[in-house]
Chains A and B, each alone.
Chain A
Amino acid sequence: SQTIHQWPATLVQPVGSPLSLECTVEGTSNPNLYWYRQAAGRGLQLLFYSVGIGQISSEVPQNLSASRPQDRQFILSSKKLLLSDSGFYLCAWKQGYRETQYFGPGTRLLVL
């Protein structure tokens, strides 16, 4: 069966520090991968998605970036965090165009 992992679970970082969040999927190959941010326990904002290695689509211009160095690995990064980057970051995967999308457990990021 397929599983999705995110780490760390919680992160507290100072403003201006770098960020690296990792997401990995097991039990499938060539998945579509997604990064979302959820602020204040509410709506979901799609940040990036990837349909293959090295292929990244950005939905919202900001100081975050994403990379997919391996088929089942998706990384969210920032060179300098802002206070507004605080939130709950969710990674997700799905296999095909209209297949069910499955979410990871999330990373809670607090920028101080």
Chain B
Amino acid sequence: AQSVAQPEDQVNVAEGNPLTVKCTYSVSGNPYLFWYVQYPNRGLQFLLKYITGDNLVKGSYGFEAEFNKSQTSFHLKKPSALVSDSALYFCGAAGNKLTFGGGTRVLVKP
């Protein structure tokens, strides 16, 4: 069975500083990995995905994620965080169903 872990419940960062949200996965075969963002009382919005190819994936709103096969990680990054990036972030691994991590709340302080 596949699983996804987000080890941090919350990440606090100052505006303008780099933002990293951690994700590790356990899947059989080739992993297909996703990141989503959720703002209050809204559905999840797709940010980016890794299917194959370059380990560094670029997505929406300046976010990127780095796939690391040896560490089974897929951390989400943004070079310079904005206050508007404050939200709940979910990592997922795909098969017939999408398995999600527990979510990480990001708080960007001005």
Using a CB–CB distance below 8 Å, which chain A residues touch chain B? 32, 34, 41-44, 46, 49, 51, 59, 88, 90, 92, 94, 97-106, 108
Task: Count residues of chain B with CB under 8 A from any CB of chain A.
Answer: 23
Decide if B88 touches A41 in the complex (CB within 8 Å): yes
CB-CB under 8 A for A97 and B96, given A42-B102, A43-B102:
yes
Decide if B43 touches A100 in the complex (CB within 8 Å): no
Decide if B34 touches A100 in the complex (CB within 8 Å): yes
Contacts of B88 in A (CB 8 A): 41-42
Contacts of A94 in B (CB 8 A): 98
Decide if B43 touches A98 in the complex (CB within 8 Å): no
Stretch at the interface among B15-23, B44-52, B66-74, B75-83: B44-52
CB-CB under 8 A for A42 and B97, given A101-B34, A103-B43, A106-B42:
no
A22–chain B nearest beta-carbon distance, Å: 15
In whole angstroms, how far apart are the Cα atoms of A105 and B32 in the complex? 24
Contacts of A32 in B (CB 8 A): 96
Contacts of A41 in B (CB 8 A): 40, 88
A112–chain B nearest beta-carbon distance, Å: 19
Using a CB–CB distance below 8 Å, which chain B residues touch chain A? 32, 34, 36, 40-46, 49, 51, 88, 90, 92, 94-98, 100, 102-103
> Mind listing 25 A-B residue pairs with CB under 8 Å?
A34-B97, A41-B88, A42-B103, A43-B100, A43-B102, A44-B90, A44-B103, A46-B97, A49-B96, A49-B97, A88-B41, A90-B43, A92-B98, A97-B94, A97-B95, A97-B96, A98-B51, A98-B94, A100-B49, A101-B46, A101-B92, A103-B44, A103-B45, A104-B43, A105-B43
Contacts of B102 in A (CB 8 A): 42-43
Contacts of A43 in B (CB 8 A): 100, 102-103
Pick the residue among A34, A98, A103 that contacts B95 (CB under 8 A). Answer: A98
